[in-house]
A and B are shown apart, each in its own frame.
Chain A
């Protein structure tokens, strides 16, 4: 069982960057007014940010990293670990983390690598970073997480287009031997087709049929380089697995839900997160949402929620559960404490 605790990871700051272009779901006229109202009410998503052509996830993460390094007045030469979590890298190769090491002007002594995960990626990224920091061999680290998901979706597909937004984040972490984190990581490859972009990798290389659009259901037109989402199955998976995963983390850490100040869930869909919240019997004030303004921002959703919703709270000591679940299928939670997270204003690019 992938449950463990490690000492050493202390979150010092979180910055987030989003594209300045806003897309409102109230303007999504491919569906009826009644369906639109139902969509906004059920998903909780009113607005999303859409990256203009030429802006990449790495660009958004780089802006966030620059901001948090500056806010914390960090000496760049002391940063010795950089992890980039994304499913929308700049290139097939090399890894975007290494490109970013160069662009951020970090030392060549930095360990830099990518992690290819989506909704669960922030917590997985923290777990890898925490485990490395626990060795005592790293002083300062950056976890860059985000996605430009809108490049894989089309307005012709009502099952994906109104849901996703773009964002990139940077979490600044320092070594502190007293800081303890409890992780629970899970995977289910049987569900790999639940959320998938079928073509473009080596399994299904781009071919003459890749960009042929097909209507799978009324209002669901997509080609094989688009994101395919089986909403019902992912909903069912998330409300079944996430509460169990979170409960196991709390049991392992020896804390109750009452003792946790905030539960930051992956921002997939408000009905989904509310169902998880009710199953865990958590009061509403402990579960903030950023999806109303930003939609589902993949691996950026947890840090973006903290940076956008708890900017005025984050300077106080808090205990947290972060929980991500989705594409893979992959899901993970962490329990940790912070004493003062610096959260600058959201950057718009």
Chain B
């Protein structure tokens, strides 16, 4: 499993259009400018391809921050 820094870097890379370094572990991903369901799909796709993890819409609704999302994936992976 990646470190939180690596996870953030991958999220930023996939959500191209957001400046590198603009996300932190405590960022609420819904605060990303113009956040839409498309962003959510990109994060679900990232979880599938990078971590073989099925992130549900409910998971995304229950988490607030990037750290919580990372912890969720990490906890179910271990």
Tell me the A residues contacting B by CB distance below 8 Å. Answer: 32, 34-35, 38-39, 42-43, 159, 230-233, 235-236, 239-240, 269, 271-272, 274-275, 278-279
The tally of residues in B whose CB lies under 8 Å from a CB in A reads 19
**Residue pair A278, B57 in contact (C-beta under 8 Å):** no
Which residue of the partner chain, among B39, B40, B45, B57, contacts A239 with CB atoms under 8 Å?
B45
Give bound CA distance, A86 to B48, whole Å: 31
Question: Which residues on the A side are within 8 Å of B56 (C-beta)?
Answer: 232-233, 236
Q: Tell whether B55 is near chain A: CB-to-CB under 8 Å.
A: yes
**Residue pair A232, B41 in contact (C-beta under 8 Å):** yes
**Residue pair B48, A232 in contact (C-beta under 8 Å):** no
**Residue pair A232, B45 in contact (C-beta under 8 Å):** no
**Residue pair A275, B49 in contact (C-beta under 8 Å):** yes
- Least CB distance, A230 to chain B, in whole angstroms: 7
Q: Binary interface profile of B, 10-34, with partner A (CB < 8 Å = 1, else 0)?
A: 0000000100000000000000001
**Residue pair B37, A231 in contact (C-beta under 8 Å):** yes
Question: Which residues on the B side are within 8 Å of A269 (C-beta)?
Answer: 41
15 contacts between A and B (CB under 8 A): A35-B34, A38-B17, A38-B34, A38-B38, A38-B39, A42-B38, A42-B41, A232-B57, A235-B44, A236-B44, A271-B42, A272-B41, A274-B45, A275-B48, A279-B48
**Residue pair B41, A231 in contact (C-beta under 8 Å):** yes
**Residue pair B36, A35 in contact (C-beta under 8 Å):** yes
Give bound CA distance, A58 to B37, whole Å: 34
**Residue pair A236, B57 in contact (C-beta under 8 Å):** yes
Give bound CA distance, A11 to B68, whole Å: 50
- Least CB distance, A114 to chain B, in whole angstroms: 33
Question: Which residues on the B side are within 8 Å of A38 (C-beta)?
Answer: 17, 34, 36, 38-39
**Known contacts being A232-B56, A236-B57, is A271 close to B36, with CB within 8 Å?**
no
Which residue of the partner chain, among B17, B45, B52, B55, contacts A271 with CB atoms under 8 Å?
B45
Question: Which residues on the A side are within 8 Å of B37 (C-beta)?
Answer: 159, 231-232
- Least CB distance, B28 to chain A, in whole angstroms: 18
Which B residue's beta carbon lies closest to that of A159?
B37
Give bound CA distance, A306 to B46, whole Å: 28
**Known contacts being A235-B41, A239-B44, is A230 close to B49, with CB within 8 Å?**
no
Question: Which positions 51-74 of chain B face chain A at CB distance < 8 Å?
Answer: 52, 54-57, 60
- Least CB distance, A278 to chain B, in whole angstroms: 5
**Residue pair A236, B55 in contact (C-beta under 8 Å):** yes
Between B34, B36, B42, B54, the greatest number of chain A beta carbons within 10 A of the residue's beta carbon is seen for: B36
Give bound CA distance, A240 to B17, whole Å: 27
Give bound CA distance, A272 to B56, whole Å: 14
- Least CB distance, A280 to chain B, in whole angstroms: 11
Give bound CA distance, A274 to B49, whole Å: 10
- Least CB distance, A162 to chain B, in whole angstroms: 11
Which residue of the partner chain, among B17, B44, B49, B52, contacts A232 with CB atoms under 8 Å?
B44
Question: Which residues on the B side are within 8 Å of A239 (C-beta)?
Answer: 44-45, 48, 54
**Residue pair B45, A275 in contact (C-beta under 8 Å):** yes
Which residue of the partner chain, among A159, A232, A271, A274, contacts B60 with CB atoms under 8 Å?
A232
Which B residue's beta carbon lies closest to that of A41?
B38
Question: Which residues on the A side are within 8 Å of B57 (C-beta)?
Answer: 230, 232-233, 236
Between B38, B44, B49, B52, the greatest number of chain A beta carbons within 10 A of the residue's beta carbon is seen for: B38
Give bound CA distance, A39 to B42, whole Å: 11
Give bound CA distance, A34 to B38, whole Å: 12
The 9 closest A-B pairs by CB, nearest first: A232-B57, A275-B45, A42-B38, A278-B49, A240-B54, A239-B48, A38-B38, A34-B34, A275-B48
